[in-house]
Structure 1
Amino acid sequence: MQLSEQMFERVQRELTDSYDEELELELEDREIDPVTMKVVERERSAEAKEARRVYFTELLRLQAELVKLQDWVVHTGHKVVILFEGRDAAGKGGVIKRIVQRLNPRVCRVAALPAPNNRERTQWYFQRYVSHLPAAGEIVLFDRSWYNRAGVERVMGFCTDDQYEEFFQTVPEFERMLVRSGIQVIKYWFSISDEEQNARFLGRIHDPLKQWKLSPMDLESRRRWEEYTRAKEVMLERTHIPEAPWWVVQGVDKKKARLNCIHHLLQQMPYEEVEHAAIELPEREYHEDYVRRPVPPEIIVPEVY
């Protein structure tokens, strides 16, 4: 596929971002296709390396603050629900990954529900989400949420007009009820441009490790861009309430979007550092009657590397 210079640069950002998971910078070592190889050559520039260094420095600083937030949530018994919504490839999964990366999964967990099964379709619409709500001292991140009804279900015709209208009548009171019960509700919408989504989809096409992310539903969403825009505008207008307002994250630059979202999230709670007793490693006990048994060689994993 021949790409224009401008589009190539957009695809370049998408490809390089996918390999920046940790500080190892796997781009140096992978056997990759010709398009990605050109990206590698460009990303070896001093300017690109400096930008990456600044990004990781700030990301690690914010993640250290998230650890403090986690301790405070456990210490105070706070309960938090964070919703991440946006178009396909808007960057929701990327920021969720960076939030949970260094946190305790027993405290901070992700709820990414699949399409409802036949039984769930007959339940109260919010029922399958309720079981994932947090107990005291827990943070739950919803990678897409009950707002599926206002987005994909509306655009793709998976709900009726009556169900769609009932959702808007119910969701404000449902969220107010959560807040009254002591659950903090934070809602993020990740906003990207038409051109940026197109570039990210092209990036997935050229990355064999991410092609699985391009489902038929994702491809159809490209065609229905304007319908999704209208649905999003209605959703924000009808569900932006004081108890649970929407926050829009500008997501065209993925790295800035992650940093901005995490920085904003930290500001939504009055957390403070929790004092912990100094950790001391106990002395290991030794017993004269203990003899370590040899491991049967047939169950040892071969040392290929």
Structure 2
Amino acid sequence: MEHLAPEGYTVVRRLGSGTHGCVTLCECLATRKLVAVKSLPLRDPDGALSTEVLREASVHKELRHPNVVCLLSYTAERDRMFLILEAMDSDLAIHCRGVREGRGFDPMGTKILMYQLLRGVGYLHEKGIVHRDLTPRNVLLKYSAHRMQLKLADYGLSRSVALPCRVLTPQVVTLWYRAPEVLLGSTTYSEKVDIWSVGCIFAEMATGRPIFPGTSEIEQLQLIFRELGTPPNLNATFGLGRAAPEFPRFQAQRRFPAQNLNAPGVDLLWRLLCLAPKDRVSCGEALRHPYFAGLSPCQRNGWR
């Protein structure tokens, strides 16, 4: 497995691929401990240094939080950047598939994971970072006998949003988790794009299925508007700098299957999935929502 691990590590198995690179489970020859190694190309196809790879390494090394995957070290070899990360057990995509097949977590397990997800994303936002690629596959899990830890991974598309009105690229986030303002081409969006993604992930955690499974940007917007209603003025709602395309005038339905989520949970879901970015709750507001009432300090840290 050439170029998948730096010197001093041996590959155990391939785990998957991130935004820009391959991730493998490796054994450190010095400590005999298992780690995850992300291998990234240091150069773009045109030979220039990859700004995306350098950004991911620079962002990740500044992050220290219980709900963020820990970067243990990093090194460059053979035109590759290797990020040495703590090893995790699974991801939310596998969990959601289990829910779909009738073997997922119970409602309390979903609540415990959701609390940790919001806390991790809130930490990024406090640091002035928008993740921009929150999907179930980028939310990792670690299990022990009585604990479920959730940690965020993959910062290849992250950006600083500390400067207001900074022009950003709209080509971000896997389609199903992409906020409507991004789908419409906004380049001045905020950290609220992550809040939308969290709402989509929350719905999928509860049902095992994506809430808006579009196959194109137009279909994705139509699915969103069918459920939440078409805003009367798209430009005003989403702060677009150009004329928006025309869409059918759908009335809001909000037909989320309540058997998979209690009433406070459904209320939180719609607060995360507000169409207008300014109306979406922040992570801090979401963490104070009644849905999480009664969670003990131990449960908030993943203990069952």
Normalization by structure 1: what TM-score? 0.24
Normalization by structure 2: what TM-score? 0.24
Indicate the structure (1 or 2) with the bigger Cα radius of gyration. Answer: 1
By relative contact order (CA 8 Å, sep 6+), the higher-ranking structure is 1
Structure whose residues are more often strand by fraction: 2
